[in-house]
Amino acid sequence: MDKEKKYSVLIVDDENSNVLELTYILSPDYAIFTAEDGQKVLEAAEKHLPDVILLDVIMPEKDGYDILKELKRFEKTKDIPVIFMAEPDNTDSEEKGLVLGAADYINKPFSPAIVKLRVRNQIKMINQMRLITDREAAEKNSRARSEFLSRMRHEMRTPMNAIMGMTNLARNTVESEKRDEMLDEISSASEHLLKLIDDVLDMSDIEEGKLLLTLDDFSFADMIRNLLNTVNPDIRKKHQTLTTNIDPSIPDIVIGDEKRISQVMLKLLSNAGKFTPEQGSIQINAFVCEVDSETLTMQVEVIDNGPGISLEHQQKLFIPNDQADGVVNGENGGTGLSLTISKHIALLMGGDLWVISEPGKGSIFAFTMKVQLKTPEAKSTDSSSMEGKTVLLVDDFEINREIVISMLENTGLKIECAENGREALGLFTSDPEKFDIILMDVNMPEMDGVEATRRIRALDNPKGKSVPIIAMTANVLMSEVDTYIEAGMNDHIGKPVDFDKLFNQLTRFLTN
């Protein structure tokens, strides 16, 4: 028997003298727990999880057979070996106990040598089973590691071959345009290789308990904007819609690990972009769950209308080397570790990460985290000077309109909505004096924001010439902005709309 571990035995007998005798026999070698009736057996077994149970057959109210049946029904106790204790020469009793799942039998009165031997035999069998289980687990881990390393060799060689091949070609290419294309390919392959290396190093740190958080002041809103700037080019390529709904009560400055939070969000956004179809939609929600004087718990969600994930694959998402990065991403490659790493980071931040999904109905990846408060007060804005003024909000996506409306619900502004430029033009023409400012989406069906602005400016009405019109657009190229200004728009704000920038624009044009 393993001398470094003291195994435990639960003794169940309604006769106190039997309990005392067995305790005397076994206590030098084992930790002893006792119970005198059926209900206490179940409680003690679940609480202490003994290695062996000595169970008297004949007891009042509930006998050993009924107790054994209940022990075998519960997951936590079903595999604990039970040794029945009964009067000698009761073969029917012994047979019945073995049929129900008893591991062995001890006759009364007790022989100390037999009691010790029977218990020791059960402990030996437990150890043998644990050795087999540990060996099987080690072999499974070894196979998984071998498969992982084999995959990593392939995954890393692919971008490395591209880097080396394109570098050699670029050296021998005179035409500057082709050389620039090759340099772009080298840059893309290098970024992919760096992500693979980062995942492997992060997972190694997790396994060794070395992945730690670095806490510092950062702006949550700025972090979101930086993430959007990173993913927007890929979003535009697939003509997808990306919207954000950021709770205005989230303080401007919080204390946390900005790099790790960005890492988790970027992974979720990248996956959403990959699996959401062209012209699909992706949404980011961030809201406060709980706040006290020192910490704030927030939840961040990335919602897509992609193909969804089956329950079978959801169960593998966060298992290293066996997750949906491999199951779902498939042809996209990768380490198969990023979601595991992301979940671990969320746990380190005092939260968790999970998925809600059904095939054909898209996915919601959500995580919670705790951040420290720089100050206990959320940001506030003075909107008293805008009280009672009316905004015409023009956007063809209902969710975008709802987000802007929620941002402005405490400002005192009145808001009317239009779904496209033609509808906006009709509302403005019917009562131009009604509107003090127009928030105009640029890309809309039927009539886009630029054309609607031109027609409003062309109206034979003083308000049509003077009403401030703010473009809302994901495009921030100067050539695009010049087009908006030429059409008669006064300024622009980026999409997804940021509360601070929107509020500043409204203040600028409505309080002069």
User: Taking a C-beta distance cutoff of 8 angstroms, is the pair 73, 100 a contact?
Assistant: no
Q: What is the pLDDT of residue 148?
A: 65
DSSP assignment of 69-102 equals HHHHHSTTTTTS-EEEEE-TT-HHHHHHHHHHT-
User: Taking a C-beta distance cutoff of 8 angstroms, is the pair 80, 50 a contact?
Assistant: yes
- The first and second tokens of residue 136, run together, are 């099987």
Q: What is the pLDDT of residue 199?
A: 74
Per the listing, tokens 């640029």 go with 442
Residues lower than pLDDT 70 in the chain: 1-5, 89-93, 144-154, 320-336, 375-383, 474-479, 496, 512
Checking DSSP bridges between strand 281-291 and strand 295-304, what pairing results, if any?
antiparallel
Contacts of 292 (CB under 8 A, 6+ apart): none
pLDDT digits (tens, 9 = 90+) for 203-218: 777 777 778 888 888 9
User: Taking a C-beta distance cutoff of 8 angstroms, is the pair 248, 379 a contact?
Assistant: yes
Q: What is the pLDDT of residue 450?
A: 92
Q: What is the pLDDT of residue 151?
A: 67
Alpha-carbon dihedral of residues 381, 385, 390, 394, nearest 10 degrees?
-40
In order of their start, the domains of the chain are: 8-110 (3.40.50.2300), 149-207 (1.10.287.130), 216-373 (3.30.565.10), 384-510 (3.40.50.2300)
Contacts of 462 (CB under 8 A, 6+ apart): none
**pTM exceeding the 0.85 threshold for the entire prediction:** no
Tell me the residue type at 484: Y
Q: What is the pLDDT of residue 470?
A: 94
Give the count of alpha carbons within 13 A of 425, CB side only: 17
Q: CA-to-CA distance for 322 and 328, rounded, in angstroms?
A: 10
Q: What is the pLDDT of residue 436?
A: 94
Give the count of alpha carbons within 13 A of 499, CB side only: 25
